[in-house]
Amino acid sequence: MTIDENSTRTLTVPPRARRTPAPPSKKKPLISYGHWWWALPAVILVIGVHYVATLTGGFFAFTNWTGLGDWEFIGLDNFVRIFNDPQLLGAVWNTLFLAFGSVILTNVFGLLFALAINRMLKTRYILRTLIFMPVVLSPLAVAYVWKFIFQFNGPLNGFLGLIGLEEFQKVWLADPTWSIWAILITVVWQQTGFVMVIYLAGLASVPVEVEEAASLDGAGVWGRFWNVTVPAIRPSIAIATTLGIIQGLRIFDQILALTGGGPAGATETLATEIYKQAFSLGQFGFGSALALVLTVIILAFAILQQYVTRDRDAAGRA
């Protein structure tokens, strides 16, 4: 959202300034704002690290380069290989599962926490600080804590045994079905506070008076939520879901720490496969093809989300 506001600002203001044709010597700004070459290091680094590298990577995706010696342009072969490999298709599926699973769960829990502590609680600031705390920690370190919890003789199975649910005890991280859920829980635990903070910022914009007026007009808690709160926090929903999808599609650290992609590739994602193909196996061309697939997925969702939210905004204004 901030991007939109600022981009429209630069779109509208400078051209209008340019349209007033003035003799260059007279309309010069009062003083010189820095020197033009101050922008140079940033421009060079951004072009090099972002644009040149990304375009080169996009080119590598269509080659069979291994980092040494000769390479050939092999067209779409890499992509044919990706989409015919059940292991890699599984990785695509896992990537989407973790992204959507984490977005849905963090948004539900984050919004619930935000609504619960937003009004009246005396200790809301302490609660906010505590719930946000996991966000600042290294995902790798957090994953090790959860690895212990999910161990076969770890606290989770211990707890299940304690409340008489022995039949649910399992080797969580070595179970082909459940290991991906263990990763999801680890991610959700760490990211919920981040989403909550975004919603708290959004909720701060809901005036108490409007809620009171709605309540006097007979709106219940549910009605107030849907008709007053949700429209007001729509921008927050857009930000939280967009950032969540982008982060979720790139989950890497937690997988390497918790399962290493196992058991038998059941928890591989595109990010872990890129690392393994390109950097463990030296398949730079093939790894780049996987990276291109991930990039297209990320861009597709980011753009889709922008359109969905923009339409809603326009409809709301009309």
Tell me which residues in 206-265 interact with another protein (CB under 8 A). 208, 211-212, 215-216, 239, 243, 246, 250, 252-253, 256-257
Q: For residues 52 and 45, what is the distance between their CA atoms, to the nearest angstrom?
A: 10
Distance in Å, CB of 97 to another protein, minimum: 18
- What's the closest the beta carbon of residue 318 comes to another protein, in angstroms? 25
- Which residues in 135-154 contact another protein (CB under 8 A)? 135-141, 144-146, 148-149, 151, 154
Q: Which residues does 136 contact at the CB level (< 8 Å), separation at least 6?
A: none
* Burial environment of residue 24 by CB neighbours within 10 A (0 to 12, 13 to 18, 19 or more): exposed
DSSP H helical ranges for the chain: 2-19, 40-46, 53-60, 77-84, 86-118, 124-132, 139-149, 155-162, 179-203, 208-216, 221-224, 230-232, 234-249, 253-258, 270-274, 284-317
Q: Is 127 in the site for another protein (CB under 8 A)?
A: yes
What is the closest distance, in whole angstroms, from the C-beta atom of residue 87 to another protein in the complex? 19
Q: Which part of the chain contacts another protein (CB under 8 A), choosing from 19-27, 78-86, 223-231, 295-303? A: 295-303
Q: Is 102 in the site for another protein (CB under 8 A)?
A: no
* 264 to 91, 169, 204, 249: CA distances (angstroms): 12, 21, 47, 21
How far does Cα 306 stand from its chain's mean position?
A: 14
Query: Using CB under 8 A, which of 62, 150, 172, 275 touches another protein?
Result: 275
In the complex, the smallest distance separating the C-beta of residue 151 from another protein, rounded to whole angstroms, is: 8
Q: Whole-angstrom Cα distance, residue 298 to residue 286?
A: 19
Count of CB atoms situated within 10 Å of the CB of 59: 14
The residue (of 104 and 243) whose beta carbon lies closer to another protein is 243
Which one among 22, 165, 230, 299 touches another protein, defined by CB under 8 A?
299
8 Å CB contact between 197 and 233: no
CA–CA distances in Å: residue 231 to residues 234, 243, 250, 313: 5, 20, 30, 9
Instruction: Say how far residue 220 (Cα) sits from the centre of its chain.
Output: 34
CB closer to another protein out of 33 and 222: 33
110: contact with another protein by CB under 8 A: no
Instruction: Name the one range near another protein by CB under 8 A: 52-60, 71-79, 88-96, 172-180.
Output: 52-60
Tell me the residue type at 9.
R
* 203: DSSP letter: H
Q: Distances in Å between the alpha carbon of 268 and those of 97, 174, 180, 255, 284?
A: 11, 13, 9, 8, 18
73 or 318, CB closer to another protein? Answer: 73
Q: Which of 189, 263, 265, 312 binds another protein (CB under 8 A)?
A: 189
Query: Cα–Cα distance between 246 and 65 in angstroms, integer?
Result: 28
75 binds another protein (CB under 8 A): no
For another protein, the binding residue among 22, 28, 67, 76 (CB under 8 A) is: 67
Q: Give the count of residues interacting with another protein (CB under 8 A).
A: 106
Q: Which is nearer to another protein, 80 or 133 (CB)?
A: 133
Single out the residue of 97, 284, 305, 309 in contact with another protein (rule: CB under 8 A). Answer: 284
Residue 10 is a binding residue for another protein (CB under 8 A)? yes
Nearer to another protein, 101 or 193 (CB): 193
> Which listed residue (89, 108, 116, 281) binds another protein by CB under 8 A?
116
